[in-house]
Amino acid sequence: MLRVLSELSVGPSSAILCATHPDRPNTVLAVKAFARSTIKRDDGVSQRLLRERCAHEQLSQQTHDNIVSYVGFYSDAKLFCLAMEYVSGGDLFTKLMTCGPMDEVSMRQPAFEVCSALGHLHSLDFVHLDLKTENILITAQGRHKLADYGSCVRLRRPEERDEPPAPVLLNDIIGTPETMAPEVILQHPVCEMADWWSYGCVVYEMLTAESPFYDADNLEIPHLIQRIARCEFFVFPNASMFSGAIVDLVQSLLVRSPSLRLGARPNGELAVVGHPWFNNITQQQTGSGNLNPLLQEGATVEQQPTHVGGGGLLDMPYVFADAQMPAGEELMTAICAHSQPITGIAGWRSSI
């Protein structure tokens, strides 16, 4: 059972809460709570919740230092709750808005850690589809963890396991406009290459604290989407202010054709971390070729909560394109499956 302690933030369809679990009473958890009334009114919210729960259930089977740990799924007569580890350092977007752009040396670690998280997702045939600085959380030790899997899709791998999974055709546009890949906007089949485009946007934002497609003269979303959809090869503005390596990294990621984008199959993550920018920064910071700071002698990693709940969804068909999503009562049944009870929320839920 979860015991909810306080409210952190409230969005249009969910709230983020602090909570504890009896098995770990001294560990604060982050809980994303959805009102059942909202779920019943809006199939889009229902599908997002099911996508996120299913992705967490699968990812919890193979944990990763740069992915937010899943604790369990809980429900009662009014709420559905996803419980995850609480990451106390805020998010990268807030840090950039507060402190301004990062220099190339200090951004090497977060850039690598996000790349590592994506590589892990892709190795399990997942595509995040909503990578942005708001979804990169920072631990008390300064490590970075990828969060929010409500847009996540899992590609269908052929029976021949040595064959790559096929791209999936989405029934709707998924993600955030500022970091959305052209193939998502154009509703072409998508694969993990959509995440490498978004990763290029995140690297650019770390360096400049702006979206690569930001236009001060026209802030309308349709204009932004048109600029992305028409972009064949991104031209880095004010390139002379930065190293040639970082400019090349961003421009190699922001390529309209997925097959020409850095990170394209079959090399994926290895092609990205093998880019000279990572090598140059690694040599400056560590004097070694070991890219992973989590493997450096003396590195510390925030202890993750154990997986104390959930389970039971592993027999579901994990191809999350809308065409495969359940609907109506079947959708509600899938969301409710194998949930655990909630206690201690009487004061909070009066506000929903």
Residues serving a catalytic function are 130
Q: Is the peptide bond before 266 cis (omega within 30 degrees of 0)?
A: yes
Of 14, 18, 9, whose CA–CA distance to 345 is shortest? 18
In whole angstroms, what is the distance from residue 116 CA to residue 301 CA? 15
Region at 94 (left for phi over 0; alpha for psi -120 to 50; beta for the rest): alpha
In whole angstroms, what is the distance from residue 28 CA to residue 129 CA? 28
DSSP string computed for 69-100: PEEEEEE-SSEEEEEEE--TT-BHHHHHHHH-
In whole angstroms, what is the distance from residue 91 CA to residue 98 CA? 11
- Burial of 262 (C-beta count, 10 Å sphere; 0-12/13-18/19+): buried
In whole angstroms, what is the distance from residue 206 CA to residue 107 CA? 7
DSSP secondary structure letter of residue 352: -
Instruction: List residues bridging with 32 in a β-sheet.
Output: 16, 82
In whole angstroms, what is the distance from residue 95 CA to residue 153 CA? 28
Residue 146 near residue 117, CB atoms below 8 Å:
yes
